[in-house]
Chain A
């Protein structure tokens, strides 16, 4: 220890001696922009010294002690660095020019920020602009169609719903496919964590308006530093901080209405249509519809009474309201941002609503010249009510609405909701919505505190520590049928708690034209989960809570687990003369999830780029070519998204002979390890005409190896399969993002952007087998050589024009699997299964445009998806060709075979037929799911300053938006979006919304 002290002493002596030799003077001054605005946080440094520097305060003032003949180097992010000789002056004011190229071009990346120019990986960013207007419940919805390579799929339009995000395709069968969300440097919970509700979304706890920027890390160079969690990409969210200068205060209100989207004229039959249809079906089956003894007695008198459109009965106009107040302020010492918001969204069906309350405090404070502390605290409370959906169940309004018969009355004789609906198992979704409960209440808290120490300029120690908790309560209550007194109650209580510590050291230095940034870090994470569940089938309907349950009937359950992650990582950024850039990262992750032999994994990446425009020989083109950069990267990262304890061989309880024993329930798996992703990426960034037109182009290939699959093992081991790292697959793709300012002058700004992503997945190896069945539905297969999801359906041909019966193709195959002959058959059992395409789109993207003229801004945003197949499962019932005689039908079914020679029609109607013409695993119901959606169209107006000032305000903005105003598609359903697998059924469809709001700032 003494030796170290001595060493420090000598070093200090040398430094102080050097300084002492020169004659130092004290220099003060103000650093400002050309317009006179002071610049806070600029570094004023003695040229050639790493230790002598000062930072400007909130009013731009600095003070530094330097030699008389020294040179001051003044630098600040977003400004061009200037050098000013002191020349013996004691007072030096310095003016800085904004760096046209760099302004707004600092992007948040893993563990820091980087100038876009220096970035070597594939990243996409989105800034806060435009975040505020859209009436969305969570930030993930905002990404839909906005970023190349980021596919956001909604499987339901329910308020507060989860989304499925796939960055550059799907990579895993048995580990997760969702990206890692990192908020202010800390990985957070995402996805659906509810127990009883149809959907929920952890991201709703974050107020989208609190977000400053979003960065999506797509390739290995950008994401690999997140190691074993980076395989599906990383989404970095940075929340707002205060700004030094005048305090800002904003208030915002928003109101809107929503209703069921239906842009392809999809309707159900009215009474007259249905009775005609049913009578024809009955007659074709040999029954007289006017004979009261016939099983298909369908007289015209059915439609003489009250008729209902049940879809209308079950849906309503949804209402949205949102209120928010936020404030931001700052001084040279500290800054803060704070917001509170409330949103309530009443859904388009009865019993469906979503409420949330969020509050945030972000604060930063400089404790000393070298020490800075900051906190990020977010509270979110969400309450979600819904009714059973996502199944073709009687109480689902979106299914019952299409199937309950038009002549069934809505109310009974007493004026109560009619529950005597035999065709719907005597279930009335309106009765369900008013009597039953299905909800989830979640309280989420995320608190982060960081401490940053910069003992020497450009050497930063940072420790970032966080606690994130989710506390959920769920309830599902089935009220008794009218007249009964006991209901069925299920309740749940869940908790997730994650502790994270992230500690880094960063050092930047420059020598000649060499610029280096090195970072080393360590992280540790521990996450716990528990879940209590109680089931009480006999609670008192008057007091429907657990306290009235009959203990003998009840059952309870408990689940809990822990997982830990320990990581060490490092990163190197190097650039030579802003022309040649190199980034390398390395991370070692140790995880409790994996086997003792593979607990530690090593992940790495290398990326390089060449900024051609900074070469001397490019001077001649700089007039029109403002940026040309070529990027390339390669690396490996991992997917550890599996449930805990899979590596352990365990004994589980087994009941036998009146007692409990134990049996081996899963084999030891000491070798269990992460799935690995090897990704290469080649990209090009170009800017033209002073960055008025910008292009980003990427080509990638992402190979997943060591995919976790259940491998068949000899049963002599006592087990039949073991979870092993054996499969592989690939995603190849191209991404293009193009943004341009078409007009840019002092009066009018018109810009437009376009993005395009193409991704193709291919399964390469499934271990023992070359085909597996999709876990959720056997109508999709995972097959070697095909896309990840491939529909496997009976090959429907159409209608036999001579007799109206359904025809399928029957194929004969040779030993190589090639078709040798095809015959048509009306026997469903003889129909051949074929691989009928994929629900994965061939390409996706969006385009946007916005025009501003004085205070008026008009913007529009379109999203598109092309080449994906969807399977409409509901058709089995609502286009039943007569087999469903007690359900209402889709009007598509009116186009059925009537006369010999009819083609392109549905089969002949036969009441109660069992031809299986309507059966589900059939290409008959497979449709092209491509669409273009006018997702958002907004007009906003900033009131002129002179009017606003007159009422003592800083700004007033009014706006109106329409969401999902129109969708161009060919799907015979309300809406073309059917989830990732293209077969989501019974879901709450997309809605159209109209929203208006006012934002006032003080």
Chain B
């Protein structure tokens, strides 16, 4: 009797203790959030993964760049309507609405939440808890800097699409930007309101300057195929230069451009190199930061990627406009024309050899990325985000607007680029010359639309008669609609004018 009572008591007490554990079954083929970030390797993988959505089709997997080119009339849909697949009608006809807008909202905040998780976890646990004999404090700082770079980049790209630039916001009188998110809302219940344009740019600049002070000059991410598809100190500085340019902080823009220009690791492509560099699968000497596009990525657009879209034998929806191609002077390698297949690797704009597209020119900037035939799946869909010539252009524009850098002039900066492109030297460099050079140099890289948008007077007069109304300086399209699905779940979001 006594024995059995003891037994019952023991069993009961063991049971009471193990009750909680018995019901605890944690996933082991995926990692719970808490476990995933518990050590340096976990953090490092989470940072590596945070780059991944940049390659999605709505972002640098194609749309973010190509729709911008289409809106700005660097790109056009082919005149032969039987020829195209029907994609890219929206940015051509400007039929944007809350139901149909640029879709990076979700992916932008996805990247932001991924890096915020890492930053928050480091803060909660303390840097010391990650440091050991093989992990230094600097290793953690480098990860923090990468996170801040990505957070700034995501906020910046969303601000560019869904809000007016600082200059236009002042003119239009509407300065709602996007919500700044610095901590992940784990309950998914919060309905954040929009911050002002000034607040968002201040946050982006703060994140980038913090990143600059945290990251080691020599740091490059390990175990990756393309070192230029990860944040580095020059990438942080180059992005800062661009953000300051958008924020019209001319001196800072020039200062940061100069830092990168003076970095001996980067040098301009020569006119001889220029036509063939675009086919490379990883970054060339000019590239500071790019998005790595390969089929092996979890985010890869296959047929929807830029190479298939700008391929007359592919979907063929994104041709180069006559307005763009006609801007280049004779001998400028950036504007050379030829016939596809025959002149591959020699010219930048090609016509379709079968002439089925009706004489349309097609950029070869995304050539070679998957050999560009219509029947095999495009493999490489790399997109360049920051490169050296932009730094010269940033500085030239800043100098024109009153910044000063010892020994540098806008004219020299422009001519440095032009001499490497086979274009004739300029004799003077005013604001218009800088803007034109920027359009020529950075065509089909997603700049022109935003370069117009960041100036108070920026506007587009369409050349193509198929297009709709021109985009004037205060047009609603400079701040496109936030997706409707977000309004359905967030009552605190204000609407952009006209949407």
Residues of chain A whose beta carbon lies under 8 Å from any beta carbon of chain B: 1, 4-5, 524, 526, 558-564, 566, 590-592, 599, 644-645, 648-665, 667-668, 712-720, 722, 768
Contacts and interface: CB of A to CB of B under 8 A. Distances in A.
Interface string B470-499: 000000000000000110111000000000
Kindly name the residue among A649, A651, A657 whose own CB sees the greatest number of chain B CB atoms within 10 A: A657
Contacts of A667: 186, 188
Contact of A560 (B29, B48, B292, B490): B29
Nearest to B111: A718
Contact of A716 (B22, B23, B181): B181
Given A716-B179, A716-B490, A768-B488, A1 B31 contact: no
B190 interface: yes
Contacts of A714: 185, 188, 190-192, 486, 489-490
A558 B29 CA distance: 9
Contacts of B489: 712-714, 768
Given A660-B49, A717-B109, A720-B106, 16 more contacts: A1-B2, A592-B23, A644-B25, A648-B27, A650-B33, A650-B36, A656-B297, A657-B292, A662-B31, A662-B42, A663-B110, A664-B117, A712-B489, A715-B485, A717-B186, A718-B114
B17 interface: no
Given A654-B298, A655-B296, A655-B297, A713 B188 contact: yes
Given A650-B31, A657-B292, A714-B192, A663 B105 contact: no
Contacts of B55: 656
A694 B272 CA distance: 98
B46 A651 contact: yes
Contact of A649 (B25, B51, B186): B186
A4 B46 CA distance: 60
Nearest to A718: B113
B51 A661 contact: yes
Kindly name the residue among A560, A566, A655, A667 whose own CB sees the greatest number of chain B CB atoms within 10 A: A655
B299 interface: yes
Contacts of B52: 654-656, 661, 663
B230 interface: yes
Interface pairs A-B: 3 shortest CB-CB = A718-B113, A658-B225, A661-B49
B66 to A, nearest CB: 21
Interface in B151-195: 179, 181, 184-192
A377 B409 CA distance: 91
Interface of B: 1-2, 5, 19, 22-33, 36-37, 42, 45-53, 55, 105-106, 109-110, 112-114, 116-117, 179, 181, 184-192, 223-226, 229-230, 292, 294, 296-299, 485-486, 488-490
Contacts of B32: 648-651
Given A664-B114, A715-B106, A654 B49 contact: yes
Given A590-B19, A599-B23, A717-B188, A668 B45 contact: no
B255 to A, nearest CB: 30
16 contacts: A524-B22, A591-B23, A645-B26, A645-B27, A654-B299, A656-B292, A656-B298, A657-B230, A661-B45, A661-B47, A663-B49, A663-B110, A712-B485, A713-B489, A716-B490, A718-B109
B23 A651 contact: no
Nearest to A719: B188
Given A657-B48, A659-B225, A663-B114, A648 B179 contact: no
Nearest to A594: B23
A650 B292 CA distance: 25
Nearest to B113: A718
Nearest to A669: B188
A649 B121 CA distance: 15
A659 B190 contact: no
A722 B298 contact: no
Nearest to B106: A715
A880 B155 CA distance: 53
A562 B25 contact: yes
Contacts of A524: 22
A718 B28 contact: no
A263 B20 CA distance: 59
B422 to A, nearest CB: 33
Given A564-B22, A716-B109, A652 B230 contact: no
Contacts of A655: 52, 296-298
Contacts of B294: 658
A692 to B, nearest CB: 52
Given A656-B51, A720-B106, A651 B30 contact: yes
B184 A648 contact: no
Contacts of B179: 716
A650 B34 CA distance: 9
Contacts of B42: 662
A122 to B, nearest CB: 32
Contact of A656 (B46, B49, B112): B49
A663 to B, nearest CB: 4
Contacts of B25: 561-564, 592, 644-645
A610 B55 CA distance: 70
Contact of A662 (B27, B36, B185, B292): B36
Nearest to A591: B23
A660 B47 CA distance: 11
B187 to A, nearest CB: 8
Contacts of B185: 714, 716-717
A662 B49 contact: yes
A661 B26 contact: no
A23 B48 CA distance: 90
Kindly name the residue among A648, A712, A768 whose own CB sees the greatest number of chain B CB atoms within 10 A: A648
Contacts of A560: 28-29
A652 B105 contact: no
Contacts of A566: 19, 22-23
Contact of B299 (A590, A656, A722): A656
B184 A717 contact: yes
Contacts of B114: 663-664, 718
Contacts of A650: 27, 30-33, 36
B224 A659 contact: yes
Kindly name the residue among B185, B292, B299 whose own CB sees the greatest number of chain A CB atoms within 10 A: B185
A663 B45 CA distance: 8
A716 B179 CA distance: 8
Contacts of B51: 656-657, 661
Kindly name the residue among B19, B46, B230 whose own CB sees the greatest number of chain A CB atoms within 10 A: B46
Nearest to A646: B27
A555 to B, nearest CB: 14
A665 B46 CA distance: 11
Contacts of B488: 712, 768
A599 B23 CA distance: 8
A644 B27 contact: yes
B107 to A, nearest CB: 9
A515 B296 CA distance: 72
B282 to A, nearest CB: 9
B244 to A, nearest CB: 26
Nearest to A600: B23
Kindly name the residue among A599, A662, A716 whose own CB sees the greatest number of chain B CB atoms within 10 A: A716
A650 B29 CA distance: 10
Contacts of A651: 30-33, 36-37, 46, 49
A645 B30 contact: yes
A597 to B, nearest CB: 11
A659 B41 CA distance: 13
A121 B6 CA distance: 40
Contacts of A649: 32-33, 186
Given A650-B31, A655-B298, A656-B299, A663 B50 contact: yes
Nearest to B223: A659
A600 to B, nearest CB: 9
B45 A662 contact: yes
B50 to A, nearest CB: 7
Given A658-B226, A717-B109, A668 B186 contact: yes
Contacts of B2: 1
Contacts of B223: 658-659
